[in-house]
Amino acid sequence: MTSAAGSALPRFDVAVIGAGIMGCASAFRLAERGLRVVVLERESAPATGSTGRSAAGVRLQFSDETNIALSASSLREYRDLPEAAYRPIGYLFLVPPDQWDAHCAAVPLQRRLGAAVQVLSPREAARIVPIDAAGLAGATWCAQDGVVDPHGICLHYANRARALGASLRFNAGVTAIERRPGGWRISAGEHSLLADRVVNAAGAWSGQVAALAGLSVPVDAARRVVFASAPLPAALMRATPYPLTVDLGSGFYFRSENQRLIFGQSNPADSGFSEGIDWPWLDTVVASALDRFPWFDQVSLDRRACWWGYYEVTPDHNAIIGIDPDEPAWINACGFSGHGVQQAAAVGRQVACLAMDEPTEIDLASLSISRFRQDGAPRMTRERLIV
Ligand SMILES: Cc1cc2nc3c(=O)[nH]c(=O)nc-3n(C[C@H](O)[C@H](O)[C@H](O)COP(=O)(O)OP(=O)(O)OC[C@H]3O[C@@H](n4cnc5c(N)ncnc54)[C@H](O)[C@@H]3O)c2cc1C
């Protein structure tokens, strides 16, 4: 095809913006369908955004059916993928009385969708992780939940996409997206190209990328810090890893990472693109830890092993997946709000269906961007279990 200026530009069926886990999973599944795919990534390698900074948890314990289905479908894929290094260390949710009924209401749905979730008393929960059970109504436990290797998964998808003919371009930050008859003209660093469709997989920057095309996609950044302990003292070492344990009263979570613990708690006041480790927030995190897990007083911090990254958040802390209702040549796969790693495998397959104008395998209606664009109050998803 020839551009308006007369010079021939390379043309693709789909341009994927972002080479995180969403962009790479999407590119792989699109290329598998025989589409001509280009991936445009601002940085010099895949997985340098949120993907490389996640806590790597995968869980089936959600309350919204679509979230459970996306995670369950992804987990089935990760289980068989050596690069995913799936470790089923389990997720333990500790639940205060005011959340108990609503929390347990999701258990039948979780079980129907294949999650072997157990409802535990505080005493039973304390056999899995030592706790001060004061003020706890109970807990839920799912042994299938666990952790994966987000880098390994992302690089695997990038390699598979490339092997199937996708063009991966790094140091290619997208700076302009213009609507043209039949598609888009995109400028990214030294690259200019045409694409019939765009997949917006730019993570925390997805709102900014959409704005280049004149679209409003409500995704913003929220900094999250992962604190890391020094190797644990002998008294705290155990034969099995500490599962990913979440105290829903405070939002504090921790899990084993080899000989250490990693832990954190979302700071609700932290929003936008603030950088660096939020050290003052550590006092709140430690207070939450000691409240529920008094033995944390034996845990010492390794300041150099801590890290931070951006959650890519939407107003209801759930993803936006689907063809934009106002722009059929634009597909959003963004706004995963802290649970994208565990959904990426399934999202890649859904994006391929969308690009082929096929029905998706999983009903994505609750994650449509329409929920934020309708008149009146937005129709938020029913998801309760946001960490
Ligand atoms: C501290 C922390 C803990 C987390 N824990 C978990 C967890 O336990 N489990 C879980 O499932 N998820 C977790 N997450 C969330 C998870 O990491 C994300 O949901 C997921 O990685 C999103 O992937 P992505 O590909 O959409 O975004 P990213 O990995 O951020 O990729 C987006 C890419 O787009 C690129 N980009 C941006 N703008 C442009 C542009 N203009 N042009 C070209 N490229 C551009 C960026 O450079 C980036 O590489 C966590 C996140 C953080 C920060």
Ligand 1 and 147: CB distance under 6 A: no
With beta carbons less than 8 A apart as the criterion, state whether 156 and 163 touch.
no
Q: How far is the CA of 231 from the centre of ligand 1 (A)?
A: 28
Could you count the other beta carbons within 10 Å of the beta carbon of residue 281? 18
Please give the pLDDT value at position 357: 96
Please give the pLDDT value at position 379: 67
Q: To test the ligand 1 pocket, which listed residue (24, 29, 40, 51) has its Cβ within 8 A of the most ligand atoms?
A: 51
Ligand 1 and 78: CB distance under 6 A: no
Q: Are residues 293 and 365 in the same domain?
A: no
Smallest CA-to-CA distance from 59 within 106, 126, 10 is with 106
Ligand 1 and 215: CB distance under 6 A: no
What is the Cα–Cα distance from 15 to 27, expressed in whole angstroms?
9
Ligand 1 and 309: CB distance under 6 A: yes
Q: Is residue 307 situated within a structural domain?
A: yes
Question: What's the rounded mean pLDDT across residues 235-241?
Answer: 94
Instruction: Tell me how many domains the chain contains.
Output: 2
Q: Are residues 328 and 297 in the same domain?
A: no
Please give the pLDDT value at position 376: 62
Element (H, E) at 252: strand 252-257
Ligand 1 and 306: CB distance under 6 A: no
Q: Are residues 297 and 324 in the same domain?
A: no
Q: Are residues 155 and 195 in the same domain?
A: yes
Q: How far is the CA of 287 from the centre of ligand 1 (A)?
A: 29
Domain boundary among 311, 329, 346: 311
Please give the pLDDT value at position 386: 74
Q: How far is the CA of 33 from the centre of ligand 1 (A)?
A: 25
Q: Are residues 185 and 321 in the same domain?
A: yes
- Range 159-165, long-range pairs (CB < 8 A, 24+ positions): 160/28, 160/31, 160/32, 161/24, 161/27, 161/28, 161/30, 161/31, 161/37, 161/39, 164/28, 164/31, 164/32, 165/31, 165/36, 165/37
With beta carbons less than 8 A apart as the criterion, state whether 16 and 201 touch.
yes
Question: What's the rounded mean pLDDT across residues 195-216?
Answer: 98
Please give the pLDDT value at position 256: 97
How are beta strands 260-264 and 252-257 bridged, if at all? Answer: antiparallel
Ligand 1 and 32: CB distance under 6 A: no
Q: Are residues 304 and 161 in the same domain?
A: no
Q: To test the ligand 1 pocket, which listed residue (50, 254, 255) has its Cβ within 8 A of the most ligand atoms?
A: 50
Q: Is residue 3 situated within a structural domain?
A: no
Ligand 1 and 311: CB distance under 6 A: yes
Q: Are residues 135 and 175 in the same domain?
A: no
Q: Is residue 72 situated within a structural domain?
A: no
Please name the residue whose Cα sits nearest to atom 35 of ligand 1: 18
pLDDT at 5 over 50: no
Ligand 1 and 40: CB distance under 6 A: yes
Question: What's the rounded mean pLDDT across residues 50-73?
Answer: 95
Ligand 1 and 3: CB distance under 6 A: no
Please give the pLDDT value at position 92: 98
pLDDT at 188 over 80: yes
What is the Cα–Cα distance from 233 to 160, expressed in whole angstroms?
42
Question: What's the rounded mean pLDDT across residues 28-36?
Answer: 98
Question: What's the rounded mean pLDDT across residues 248-253?
Answer: 96
Please give the pLDDT value at position 44: 97
Q: Is residue 368 situated within a structural domain?
A: yes
Q: Is residue 78 situated within a structural domain?
A: no
With beta carbons less than 8 A apart as the criterion, state whether 330 and 213 touch.
yes
Q: Look at 192-201, 343-352, 353-362, 376-385 and tell me which has the smallest mean pLDDT.
A: 376-385
Q: How far is the CA of 161 from the centre of ligand 1 (A)?
A: 18
pLDDT tens-digit map of 336-358: 998 999 999 999 999 999 999 99
Q: Is residue 353 situated within a structural domain?
A: yes
pLDDT category at 151 given cuts 50, 70, 90 is very high
pLDDT at 61 over 80: yes
Q: How far is the CA of 363 from the centre of ligand 1 (A)?
A: 23
Please give the pLDDT value at position 1: 37
Ligand 1 and 46: CB distance under 6 A: no
Please give the pLDDT value at position 387: 83
Average pLDDT of the chain is: 94
Q: Are residues 155 and 304 in the same domain?
A: no
Ligand 1 and 71: CB distance under 6 A: no
Q: Residues for the chain: how many in total?
A: 387
Sign of CA dihedral 65, 69, 70, 71: positive
Q: Are residues 225 and 125 in the same domain?
A: yes
Please give the pLDDT value at position 380: 65
Please give the pLDDT value at position 3: 44
pLDDT category at 384 given cuts 50, 70, 90 is confident
Domain boundary among 285, 311, 337: 311
Ligand 1 and 348: CB distance under 6 A: no
Smallest CA-to-CA distance from 331 within 202, 230, 222, 242 is with 202
Q: How far is the CA of 288 from the centre of ligand 1 (A)?
A: 27
With beta carbons less than 8 A apart as the criterion, state whether 371 and 340 touch.
no
Q: How far is the CA of 4 from the centre of ligand 1 (A)?
A: 35
pLDDT at 124 over 90: yes
Please give the pLDDT value at position 377: 62
Q: Is residue 257 situated within a structural domain?
A: yes
Domain coverage including residue 339:
11-51+151-218+316-373
CATH number (domain holding residue 125): 3.30.9.10
pLDDT at 191 over 90: yes
Please name the residue whose Cα sits nearest to atom 12 of ligand 1: 339
Domain boundary among 279, 311, 343: 311
Q: Are residues 39 and 132 in the same domain?
A: no
The tokens for 121 are 């008393």
Q: What is the CB-side half-sphere exposure of residue 1 using CA atoms within 13 A?
A: 18
CATH number (domain holding residue 20): 3.50.50.60
Return the C-alpha torsion angle 105, 107, 111, 116, nearest 10.
-170
Q: Are residues 188 and 298 in the same domain?
A: no
Please name the residue whose Cα sits nearest to atom 10 of ligand 1: 339
Ligand 1 atom closest to the CA of 174, numbered from 1? 42
Q: Is residue 63 situated within a structural domain?
A: no
Q: Are residues 175 and 301 in the same domain?
A: no
Q: Look at 307-311, 313-317, 347-351 and tell me which has the smallest mean pLDDT.
A: 313-317
Q: How far is the CA of 53 from the centre of ligand 1 (A)?
A: 8
Question: What's the rounded mean pLDDT across residues 94-107?
Answer: 95
